Amino acid sequence: MFTWHGKATYSFTPENKWYQGLAGLEFNHETTTGRRILDRQQELSEGAVFAAVRLMPFKKLSLEPAVRWSHYSYGKSVPTPTLSVNYEFLPQSHIWANYSRGFRTPSMKELYLDFYTFVGPTSYHITGNSDLKPESSDQYQLGLKLVLPSIPLPHSIQVKTYYNDLKDLIALSPIIQNSRNYININHDKTYGIKWDAELTLWKFLSLSYGQHMFWNRNDFYTEALSSQLDKFLLSKDYNARIQYCVPALHSTFAVFYKHRGERPAYAYDKAKKAYFATQTAALDNLDAMLSVHLFKHSIELNSGVKNILNKTNLEEQVLLSGAAHTSSLFLWGRTYFIGCQYFFNRKPTK
């Protein structure tokens, strides 16, 4: 694989002015060759121009419009505008909103690569799909970060709501008979709310908790089959973290927990040559990590355990073709790790 990339940017930030801006050009060209590539060689190019400004009509209010215009070697030209608004109503507290239109062309791997990957003793066959369409999206977000003066302890509360409307979403299908491939989901809509809270107690102990609730609906169509999840399905994710610092030992110990709710998905049945809807089961994951700093923080030692609960597979329930069940690899089993880093001229943290 050979990749050429070039980018030129000009920015202007005049002092004591209520505006800033930048503009630029970008070019990408990718060539891939090999026995596992369709027709042994494929090329893809992109050229783009972009511009953005930041307007500050008032001290606590900022507006940031931007646009990018991309042209691809297969003849597609696409503008992708964005607009962000931010208002700081209290020190360290602000509310923000943004809209962005996205566009993503399939990568060379997603289009043309046919390969096997090994996870433990099992091999999986992943195939590209040269018929993939580019995906496009409209995304809306509204968020709030809050630090309350009435709470004496260091803390922060963040809330975000969003709505995403994706067309021709590029996704990797779940594993069926040790094989999976890239597909387009005709229409994918998601809306949700996400919030996180963090609190520091007694200077050395910090706690955080977050919840993510979202509703998803996606439709998928082929010439032989028209199927859809005709309603929004709710998924719930939770995460928590406990972190304790021991200054005398220059060490930090942290435990991370994450609950991943059920997910709707699509799979491909090679025997029937048809796509069908599935649903993956929920997953609980627990990690732990210890960090130790030595020699005035110039050396950092890390060790820990990932996937303490030893989760390896997620059960998939077939929604549209009876009551059959299968399983799809999601994680490695329990994993232990250790690492060492050396930093030049690193200043000790207080």
Mean pLDDT (whole number) for 311-315? 69
Sign of the torsion formed by the C-alpha atoms of 87, 89, 90 and 93: negative
Rounded Cα distance, 6 and 45, in Å: 12
In this structure, which amino acid lies at residue 65? P
The segment with the largest mean pLDDT, out of 58-62, 93-97, 200-204, 222-226, is 93-97
Backbone dihedral angles phi then psi of residue 297, each to the nearest 5 degrees: 70, 15
What's the chain's average pLDDT? 83
Q: Please, which pLDDT band fits residue 122 given cuts at 50, 70 and 90?
A: low
Q: Give the predicted TM-score (pTM) of the model.
A: 0.74
Mean pLDDT (whole number) for 175-185? 74
Q: Please, which pLDDT band fits residue 244 given cuts at 50, 70 and 90?
A: very high
Mean pLDDT (whole number) for 50-76? 91
325-345 tens-digit pLDDT: 444 555 678 999 999 998 887
SS (H, E, C) 33-72: ECCCEHHHEEEEEEEEEEEEEEEEEECCEEEEEEEEEEEE
Among 44, 60, 125, which Cα is nearest to 92's?
60
256, pLDDT greater than 80: yes
